[in-house]
A and B are shown apart, each in its own frame.
Chain A
Amino acid sequence: MPFDLTSITPYLGDLAAGARLTALACLLALAGGLAIGIVVALMRTAALPLARRVAEFYVDVFRNVPFIVQLFFLFYGLPEIGPELSPFNTGVLGLALAGGAFTSDVIRSGILALEPGVLEAAQVSGLSRLTIYRRIVLPMALRTSIRPLGAVFVNLILTSSILSAITINELTGVAKIVASDTFQPFEVYALLLLAYFAMTTLVSLAAGALHRRLNRHLQGGPV
């Protein structure tokens, strides 16, 4: 009786669909979170105190309030003040906002790790502030941030399971249905665990490889 996996096979299609939804939500959230994170990181390293304080407040809130509470706030609260977003869009928004807070941490570290001399060289050659950010600060900060950004993405994938609580049929949501249909919760959830583990390991390995590729010009002695 235990570990009879054949009863799950009819559901593989649904599970795959759920996995695709998870992937889609996470990728969208990563893109949004990266955009937000870059803006917030720039604000945190800005000269203007107001910008810094607003940015720090944002990071503070999203780091110290549980994600599910943030999600419920958006899911139940947003329709009151206006936009009626689908559960999926609400979920992606929630993930992006939370992800943005963590991303900004990573990018801020990347910016602070830049050699000041290089920035000075850019300044005195007359480059505009925007150009310096676009061609020097961000490319360099992102290159060093790939591995920690991979960790943030892993976190997003794990957190996305919570989206099942607002009726989204991503991987965990579908698994719940399969578990109750097949009366084999242990097998289903154990497999689910391994599936997430496989996904996150893949992402970590990919991040490592990407890091090595993007940074290959930055090491190595004279040739």
Chain B
Amino acid sequence: MIQLDGVIKRFGANTVLDGIDLRIAPGEVVSILGASGSGKSTLIRCLNGLERLDAGAISVDGARIDTPAGLQAARRACATVFQLFNLYPHMTALQNVTLAPVEVLKVPRRQAEEAARALLASVGLGERADAYPAQLSGGQRQRVGICRALAMKPRYLLLDEVTSALDPEMTAEVLAILAKLAHEGTTMLFVTHEIEFARQISSRIVFLEQGRLLADLPTAQFFAPDGGLAQPRIAQFLSKMSKS
């Protein structure tokens, strides 16, 4: 269980997260929607410890992440996939995927490489395991990023706008993989602009507006006229997104 209690995060005079309470239970697929600047990415960055909180607490499986031990445990339980891929440019796809399992989980190298090759094959990159990031397309790089996250066998998968930097064709590739993962029962927390996708695979939708949670509803209810759509701000946002 990922638990956020009264989380507040400020950047200078700007309050980006203004008192967030959120629970994510194992098996859930939660999408975080909202306008740019509403604090969505900051939320993920607080979860994996890249940003420090100004107030409130976050705990992952009972351990608070403001202690070094808790943070380390949280980072093993959660894996992040980034919008800009953030692959290690001087390592091959295979090495990108095996680095953390070998160094952190102390998996023997041979075993890690076999597992990595299997993972890369499952996303259609079996032939490209020895390619460097510079030789891969955006969609391929993001698929490596997903494998890199999955290689750690995380309990929770955090995805920060992972298709925003991809063209439509590559977006579809990556979304297909994510849909499969959701189907297989992976616990996922998405930040995304892909409304249709969120609607199809999420169990729950959370709407962020200027640092506050405007809605936290099961998917069907979120898109219902008397549920999420009843809120003018949400309705406005959804209609704007569907026009583009």
Contact = CB atoms under 8 A, between A and B. Distances in A.
A149 to B, nearest CB: 17
A139 B90 contact: yes
A223 interface: yes
Contacts of A1: none
Interface in A61-100: none
Nearest to B131: A223
Interface residues of B, number: 30
A122 interface: yes
A222 B80 CA distance: 24
Interface stretch (B2-10, B30-38, B71-79, B190-198): B71-79
B1 to A, nearest CB: 19
Contacts of A118: 86-89
Interface stretch (B20-28, B99-107, B116-124): B99-107
B134 A121 contact: no
A136 interface: yes
B177 interface: no
Given A117-B82, A222-B135, A124 B49 contact: yes
A115 interface: yes
A218 to B, nearest CB: 5
B13 interface: no
Interface of A: 115, 117-118, 120-128, 131, 135-136, 139-140, 143, 217-223
Interface of B: 48-50, 72, 75-76, 78-80, 82, 84, 86-90, 99-100, 103-104, 131-132, 134-137, 140, 148-149, 152
